[in-house]
Amino acid sequence: MRFDSNLAWKDAASAVSANRDVLLALAGVFFVLPSFAFALLYPQPEPPAGAAPEQLFELMGAFYRQAWPVLLAIAAVQMVGTLAMLTLFTDRSRPTVGQALAQGLNGLVPVIAAQLLLGMGLGLVALIPLVAAGATGIPAAVALVIVLAGAVMLWAYIRSALVSPAVVVDGIRNPVAALRRSFALTRGNAGRIALFFLLLVVAFVIVVGVISALLGMLFEVVIGGETATALTALVSSAGEAVMAVYFVAVVAATHRQLAGPSADATAARFE
């Protein structure tokens, strides 16, 4: 089946519009609150004026070495929220929010396992040519391998983009089988899906970035101080949550289209 990005977007937008209140509530709990709390408790360090690139890398490296356990916990929480929203988008049995959350928890381990398997496989595939290129001592060879590895990782990400609905919607709990299912569904459509996802991400990042910047300047002028910083972080977190809702809806619509069932399940599903 040829992927139709226009149909997928209309399907996703219709689903979000029909169930906006519940989706935004879930996004608030699983995306806004964790991101906002992290922004307040772990503010990114301000680089000193005129800092060299090496200093910037060291500064950010120290920050992430300290914050990575919290980031992992936030990622797990957001994954549960993502899987719960996928359930609400796709389950025709009209599950309650509690049942959707339970489904999200049940699918958490298979989805993470699939991602880890894919990541380790890609790491091994990239490591061998990278070591070989490094042994030549030619910087251009290393740069070429890095670019090619990045392209392969992007291709693998697109081909594995439907792992979550494979677990939640198709009921596949074996991570290898979930990866195979995603690769099978995206076969022949990886380029179209990649372009669609890229356009969505760019559009959302620009819109959220502009709104956050404008409101941030307004808060700074009107209120100032730590309150303005906190409000700016809240706006940014809310924008990211809206992005997450629409992106989950797009993934659900993409899976529904490529898997074959009719799209009559885009009406309200929540109790």
Using only C-alpha atoms, the chain has a radius of gyration, in whole angstroms, of 21
Question: Is the distance from CB of 233 to CB of 209 less than 8 angstroms?
Answer: no
Give which of 48, 41, 18 is closest to 264, Cα–Cα: 18
| Nearest one of 78, 73, 70 to 104, comparing CA atoms | 78
pLDDT tens-place string over residues 175-200: 999 999 999 999 999 999 999 999 99
- Secondary structure class of 152 (helix, strand, coil): helix
Cβ(179)–Cβ(164) below 8 Å: no
Q: What is the per-residue DSSP string for 54-76?
A: HHHHHHHHHHHHHHHHHHHHHHH
> What is the predicted pLDDT for the residue at 263?
43
Question: Does 223 score more than 90 pLDDT?
Answer: no
Name the residue with tokens 């629409």.
246
How high is the pLDDT of residue 269?
43
- Rounded to two decimals, what is the model's pTM? 0.83
In angstroms, the CA 201 to CA 193 distance is: 12
Cβ neighbours of residue 268 closer than 8 Å, sequence gap 6 or more: 18, 19
- Alpha helix ranges (H) inside 91-138: 97-136
Answer positive or negative: Cα dihedral of 251, 253, 254, 255: positive
Q: Is 215 exposed, middle or buried (0-12, 13-18, 19+ CB in 10 A)?
A: middle
Closest by CA to 251, choosing from 176, 157, 173, 180, is 157
- For 104, the token pair is 């999200």
Percentage of residues of the chain with pLDDT beyond 70: 95
| Low-confidence winner among 25-29, 69-73, 224-228 (lowest mean pLDDT) | 224-228
Determine what percent of the chain falls in helix, strand and coil, rounding each to the nearest 5: 85, 0, 15
Residue 264 has pLDDT above 60, yes or no: no
Q: Kindly state the DSSP code that residue 30 receives in the 8-state scheme.
A: I
Task: Indicate if the pLDDT at residue 54 is higher than 70.
Answer: yes
Average predicted confidence (pLDDT) for the chain: 86
Q: Give the pLDDT confidence of 88-111 residue by residue, as tens digits.
A: 888 777 777 888 889 889 999 999
The whole-angstrom separation of Cα 133 and Cα 127 is: 10
CA distance readout (Å), 160 to 28, 186, 192, 193, 209: 27, 8, 14, 11, 28
Q: Is the pLDDT of residue 220 over 90?
A: no
